[in-house]
A and B are shown apart, each in its own frame.
Chain A
Amino acid sequence: MTQVSRITDEQTPTSTSSTILLRISKFNPEHDDSGRFMEFTIPYEKWTTVLEAILDVKKHFDHSVAVRYSCRQATCGSCGMIINGKPRLACFTKISELNSNVVTVEPMNNFPIIRDLAVKFERLFNTHQKIKPYLIRDDSELESDEKEFLQSPEEVEQYIQFANCIKCGLCNSACPTMATDSSFVGPQALAQAYRYVADSRDKGKDSRLKIIDDSHGIWRCHFAGSCSQVCPKGVDPAMGIQLLRGYLLGFRG
């Protein structure tokens, strides 16, 4: 059973007429049998992000709230969480854009919880590492000062959107296969596999395709497409997965 504790900000002067009820999921797997929600009434401005609201809670009400963040500008990929039912970056989600007086924050699905909103990223990093996220070729740009692997704009176009991935894990959190298949490689790693396979400088296509072509690899994607819906960086993992399947089915060279 989820319990609820409510704290209302009575001392903090509100510089705005708007307040929201911020519901934060509290759960410590080491001590708690089940999760509960703490509720806080928080003032906000048009530009206040969900992360700022959580940090407000940490500063004024409950410093024990566990949340991971760093850049505060959608670059480091640390602050992914479920906000009003959808995986989003807390630093990239303005409260005003949620169109709700209640904002509920929970840890990402499909990730083990460390505490409250902080989750373990080991699986994401392991699967990311598994697909060899680097250029594979025998020579190197470092061998000679003058050597440079040139690419045409068309060649860059093939993979550039996939290079925007910040490893936030929101796509893995939204993926229904990730929820049931604990060995599934996941949309993040598959999108990165495509990013390198499609790079004209890379020569590791065969070894990468072999890695993802197993019983918990690319074929377990059901093309729900939720990964692409939640990506905050405009990466389209679902499309990358379909393009990768093209290589494996012999439609692409």
Chain B
Amino acid sequence: MRESTIMKIHYGTALAAVALVAVHILMRLTQGFAESLEYDSVLANYKFIPYAAMLELILILLAVHGFNGLRVILLELKQGRTYEKAVSYGCLAAMVALIAYGSRTIIMTNMGMT
């Protein structure tokens, strides 16, 4: 993939994540902070499909943005063909793994498998 395409995704995910995290924080403010973190309240959020979908989207946006950011930092830190390949594929694999693990939590909770 061209670096400009990757960076367009990088900037896009940042903007979208800021917007969705703002919505997420506003939703949290509808309850008191401690109440919002109660077990039943958290479960209820995951079971409300639009909210669970938004959490899933935030997870994807932050994972894509974060791991690309990490790739960029590591590429600037050290150079070399093998190292750079390892960094790029390593970050991609870590990103997929994190999204898979987070999605598993969201989907299982949504389906009541707690």
Chain A interfacial positions (CB closer than 8 Å to B):
177, 180-184, 213-217, 219-220, 248-249
Chosen A-B contacts, 15 in total, with CB atoms closer than 8 Å, are: A177-B76, A180-B77, A181-B76, A181-B79, A182-B79, A183-B79, A213-B2, A213-B4, A215-B75, A215-B84, A217-B3, A219-B3, A219-B4, A220-B75, A248-B4
B25 → A minimal CB distance (Å): 28
Contacts of B84 in A (CB 8 A): 215
| Chain B CB within 10 A, most for which of A182, A213, A215, A217 | A215
Q: Assess whether B72 is interfacial by the CB under 8 Å rule.
A: yes
Contacts of B76 in A (CB 8 A): 177, 180-181, 184, 220
Contacts of A219 in B (CB 8 A): 3-4, 7, 72
CA distance A249 to B77 in the complex (A): 25
| Chain A CB within 10 A, most for which of B2, B4, B77, B84 | B4
A213 touches B3 (CB 8 A): yes
Assuming A182-B79, A220-B75, what are 14 further A-B pairs, CB within 8 angstroms? A180-B76, A181-B75, A181-B79, A183-B79, A213-B4, A215-B84, A216-B79, A219-B3, A219-B4, A219-B7, A220-B72, A248-B4, A249-B4, A249-B8
CA distance A214 to B72 in the complex (A): 12
| Dominant SS among interface residues on chain A | loop
B5: nearest chain-A partner, CB-CB: A213
Residue interface mask B1-16, A partner, CB < 8 A = 1: 0111001100000000
Number of interface residues of B (CB under 8 A): 11
Give 6 nearest A-B pairs by CB, closest first.
A248-B4, A181-B76, A213-B4, A183-B79, A219-B7, A182-B79
A217: nearest chain-B partner, CB-CB: B3
Contacts of B7 in A (CB 8 A): 219
Contacts of A213 in B (CB 8 A): 2-4
A219 → B minimal CB distance (Å): 5
CA distance A177 to B7 in the complex (A): 17
Contacts of A215 in B (CB 8 A): 3, 75, 84
Contacts of A182 in B (CB 8 A): 79
B108 → A minimal CB distance (Å): 37
CA distance A12 to B3 in the complex (A): 60
B17 → A minimal CB distance (Å): 19
Contacts of B79 in A (CB 8 A): 181-183, 216
Contacts of A180 in B (CB 8 A): 76-77
B97-112 residues at the A interface, CB under 8 angstroms: none
B13 → A minimal CB distance (Å): 15
CA distance A193 to B107 in the complex (A): 49
A217 → B minimal CB distance (Å): 6
CA distance A213 to B79 in the complex (A): 17
Question: Given A220-B72, A249-B8: A214 and B3 within 8 A (CB)?
Answer: yes
A250: nearest chain-B partner, CB-CB: B8
| Chain A CB within 10 A, most for which of B2, B3, B8, B72 | B3
B1-49 residues at the A interface, CB under 8 angstroms: 2-4, 7-8
Contacts of A214 in B (CB 8 A): 3
CA distance A80 to B84 in the complex (A): 32
